[in-house]
A and B are shown apart, each in its own frame.
Chain A
Amino acid sequence: GENVEQHPSTLSVQEGDSAVIKCTYSDSASNYFPWYKQELGKRPQLIIDIRSNVGEKKDQRIAVTLNKTAKHFSLHITETQPEDSAVYFCAAVNPNYGGSQGNLIFGKGTKLSVKP
Chain B
Amino acid sequence: EAQVTQNPRYLITVTGKKLTVTCSQNMNHEYMSWYRQDPGLGLRQIYYSMNVEVTDKGDVPEGYKVSRKEKRNFPLILESPSPNQTSLYFCASSFLPLSSSGGTDTQYFGPGTRLTVL
Contact = CB atoms under 8 A, between A and B. Distances in A.
A101 B96 CA distance: 8
A13 interface: no
A67 interface: no
B98 A45 contact: no
Contact of B99 (A32, A43, A89): A32
Nearest to A98: B56
Interface stretch (A14-22, A74-82, A103-111): A103-111
A102 B109 contact: no
24 contacts: A6-B42, A32-B101, A43-B110, A43-B112, A44-B90, A45-B109, A46-B101, A46-B104, A46-B106, A91-B43, A93-B98, A95-B97, A95-B99, A98-B57, A98-B58, A101-B50, A102-B96, A104-B48, A105-B59, A106-B43, A106-B44, A107-B42, A108-B40, A108-B41
Contact of A106 (B42, B49, B99, B104): B42
Interface in B20-52: 31, 33, 35, 40-45, 48-50
B43 to A, nearest CB: 4
A34 B50 contact: no
Interface residues of B, number: 31
Contact of B97 (A34, A44, A89, A101): A101
Given A31-B99, A51-B99, A108-B41, A46 B50 contact: no
A11 interface: no
B107 interface: yes
A104 B98 contact: yes
Interface residues of A, number: 30
A23 B50 CA distance: 26
Given A102-B56, A103-B48, A44 B109 contact: yes
A52 to B, nearest CB: 8
Contacts of B40: 108
Contacts of A69: none
Given A46-B104, A95-B99, A103 B45 contact: yes
B59 A32 contact: no
Nearest to B40: A108
B59 A34 contact: no
